[in-house]
Amino acid sequence: MFGKIKEAFKKLIDTVSETIKYRTLSQEEIEGLLEELELKLVEADVAVDAAEKITNLLRSVFAELKIPRIGDARSVVMDAVKRKLLEILKHGVFEKDLVELVREGRKPFKIVFMGVNGVGKTTTIAKTAFLLLNNGLKPVIVAADTFRAAAQEQLKKHSEKLGVPFVGGKYGSDPAAVAYDGVRYAEKRGYDAVLIDTAGRMHVDSNLMDELKKIVRVIKPDLKLLVLDALTGNDAVEQARAFHENVGVDAVILTKVDADSRGGAALSVILSIDRPIIYLGVGQGYRDLIPYNPELLLKLLFGE
């Protein structure tokens, strides 16, 4: 992953550091290098907006770059570039740890998972249940998507595999009522967390937003998580905006990062989204949920 992007950054940093050993870069040279970088980023599936965001940041870095009298030119350039990128990558981190939140929060800690069909919501709920179980916490899984029988079945199967209680609802019943039943179940039996799956018809569907608003009104979740598919790039960014405007989004889980072979789509979403990211989904297994870590992402992007 990120192979092409890594290559493009490497070439840029090599060229810049070789030149500034002897002299400053001219305005034209900087523009030429940035244009080449932008082209390569776009070839690696980075969205044009995101590629421009990167080149604009680097323009300011290169304009301020001082020729080092002593020390290694390459590491001076590398550090300056990384520091700048880290600023924007850090901007998108959800600072709190989910396990800590559940452990320290009021019992049961109520989490609503939202997102368009197919993004990986149900799978992510199973992964989250697994994470909590591994940390000695007891979750209940609730299927408040009452429009698709298959959605209930899929979640039920996961809960059986994980040995976690499942609360579902009849086809067509009120999703908010099902969510409420799930919370009551957890309260009565002393469970630590309630993980609520919701329907995911198209995000432009105002019924869906109304339904989500009602769930939020009725159960007052402690955390509203939006699941987004990294492969959908710009659509994911739009979904984040729509869900946040309508229902409110505390943090995002970006799935299928493993399936983004060139890494550009995932990177674009990370750079363009205006909500913090809490986890990345990196596979279909229960363990394939990793905290979003900008330092680690930078290491992957620069290979050093």
Ligand X SMILES: Nc1nc2c(ncn2[C@@H]2O[C@H](COP(=O)(O)OP(=O)(O)O)[C@@H](O)[C@H]2O)c(=O)[nH]1
Cβ atoms of 2 and 301 closer than 8 Å: yes
Buried b (16+ CB within 10 A) or exposed e, 242-274: bbbebbebbbbbbbbbebbebbbbbbbbbbbbe
**Tokens representing residue 150 in the block:** 């298959």
Which residue is at the shortest CB distance from ligand X? 281
Span near ligand X by CB under 6 A; candidates 33-41, 45-53, 61-69, 278-286: 278-286
Residue 291 binding partner per list Mg ion, ligand X, none, with a CB distance cut-off of 5 to 8 Å that depends on partner kind: none
What is the nearest approach in angstroms of Mg ion to the Cβ of residue 50?
28
What is the nearest approach in angstroms of Mg ion to the Cβ of residue 249?
18
What is the nearest approach in angstroms of Mg ion to the Cβ of residue 121?
5
Provide the 10 A C-beta neighbour count for residue 14. Answer: 12
For 254, phi then psi, to 5°, come to -100, 115
Query: What number of H helices and E strands is found in the chain?
Result: 12, 8
Question: From the list 17, 19, 55, 122, which residue makes contact with Mg ion (rule: CB under 5 A)?
Answer: 122
Judged by CB under 6 A, the chain residues 134 through 153 that form the site for ligand X are none
Residue number with CB closer to ligand X (78 or 151): 151
Burial degree of 172 (CB within 10 A; 0-12, 13-18, 19+) = exposed
**For residues 180 and 26, what is the distance between their CA atoms, to the nearest angstrom?**
64
What mask of x and - would describe binding to ligand X in positions 225 to 264, judged by CB under 6 A?
A: ------------------------------xx-xx-----
Residue number with CB closer to ligand X (123 or 232): 123
What mask of x and - would describe binding to ligand X in positions 116 to 135, judged by CB under 6 A?
A: -xxxxxxx------------
Residue number with CB closer to Mg ion (73 or 249): 249
Residue number with CB closer to ligand X (123 or 152): 123
**H/E element holding 193?**
strand 193-197
Q: At what angle do helices 264-272 and 73-91 cross, to 10 degrees?
A: 60
For 275, phi then psi, to 5°, come to -120, 150
Total number of residues binding ligand X (CB under 6 A)? 18
**H/E element holding 206?**
helix 206-219
Judged by CB under 5 A, the chain residues 156 through 185 that form the site for Mg ion are none
Nearest to 143 by CA among 181, 187, 101, 117: 181
Total number of residues binding Mg ion (CB under 5 A)? 3
What is the nearest approach in angstroms of Mg ion to the Cβ of residue 152?
9
Question: From the list 15, 235, 283, 300, which residue makes contact with ligand X (rule: CB under 6 A)?
Answer: 283
What is the nearest approach in angstroms of ligand X to the Cβ of residue 113?
9
What is the nearest approach in angstroms of ligand X to the Cβ of residue 125?
8
Cβ atoms of 144 and 182 closer than 8 Å: yes
Judged by CB under 5 A, the chain residues 123 through 162 that form the site for Mg ion are 151
Sheet holding 139-143, edge to edge: 166-167, 139-143, 193-197, 109-114, 223-229, 251-255, 277-281, 289-291
Which residue is at the shortest CB distance from Mg ion? 122
- Residues lying near Mg ion in the complex (CB under 5 A) are found at 121-122, 151
Name the site residues for ligand X (rule: CB under 6 A): 115, 117-123, 200, 255-256, 258-259, 281-284, 288
